[in-house]
Structure 1
């Protein structure tokens, strides 16, 4: 298994662990939120630039995050940012580059209780 494959596996396993710890009534699970961003993995880890498939996934996540359960999505992405070596500058730039609006930033120290 190559480096990219092992990171992808780690990302999915982390999503499953986190989703088990979230409330079961979420409109979008942590696993689903991360699946939307799988095409963004090379960009979020700083391996390459932004792609159209990344932006499509980010747009889908933005739409899904408009639900009443966006706080759980925020908490999920916060845990991923804390647990993996996400390039925080790239994560911060993702919404602008993909021309989307998320109700929160993808960063490890965001307070998911504020304005959500």
Structure 2
């Protein structure tokens, strides 16, 4: 009886760990993220109107998130890329998802701790 309880406990623990991180490895590459979000740079630097290609890139990025590792890899890529763009306005960058009618699971700032970004599955019934 004790062996059965232990086996059930181990199985439940394994399922909980699998659910916590749906896939263990990032499938997103920084090259993909850069390609999708490059059209957002002019708005981040100069303001004005967000390009439709920028919004399309944000939609693609949001659709590509499948795990914590994906979110964290994208966050780090964006953060590193943003740091290399002179005159980038971080507040303006963080407005873009809302202007595109969507959201982002993290804010992009030099101080953002990407290791704390978490993937959540939203289910609509």
- Give the TM-score taking structure 1 as reference length: 0.69
Query: How many residue pairs were aligned?
Result: 91
User: What is the deviation of 1:28?
Assistant: 0.9
Query: Paired residue for 2:82?
Result: 81
Q: 1:47/1:103 Cα in 2 relative to 1: closer, same or farther (>3 Å)? A: closer
Shift of 1:98: 0.7
What is the alpha-carbon root mean square deviation over aligned residues? 1.6
Determine the C-alpha separation between the residues in 2 that align with 1:81 and 1:109: 12
Could you tell me which runs of 5 or more consecutive residues in structure 1 were left unpaired when the two chains were aligned.
1-24
- For structure 2, which runs of at least 5 residues remain unmatched after alignment? 1-24, 119-125
Contact kept? 2:71, 2:117, Cα under 8 Å: no
SS in 1 for 2:37: helix
TM-score between both structures, scaled by the size of structure 2: 0.65
In 2: Cα distance, 1:41 partner to 1:101 partner = 17
Counterparts in 2 of 1:57 and 1:115: CA distance versus 1, 3 Å: closer
- Counterpart in 1 of 2:101? 99
Pairwise CA distance, 1:93: 0.4
Task: Indicate the residue corresponding to 1:40 in structure 2.
Answer: 40
Q: Does 1:67 align with 2:66?
A: yes
Q: Deviations over 1:5-41 (max 9, x none)?
A: xxxxxxxxxxxxxxxxxxxx53110111011012212
Distance apart, 1:47 and its partner CA: 5.5
Larger radius of gyration: 2
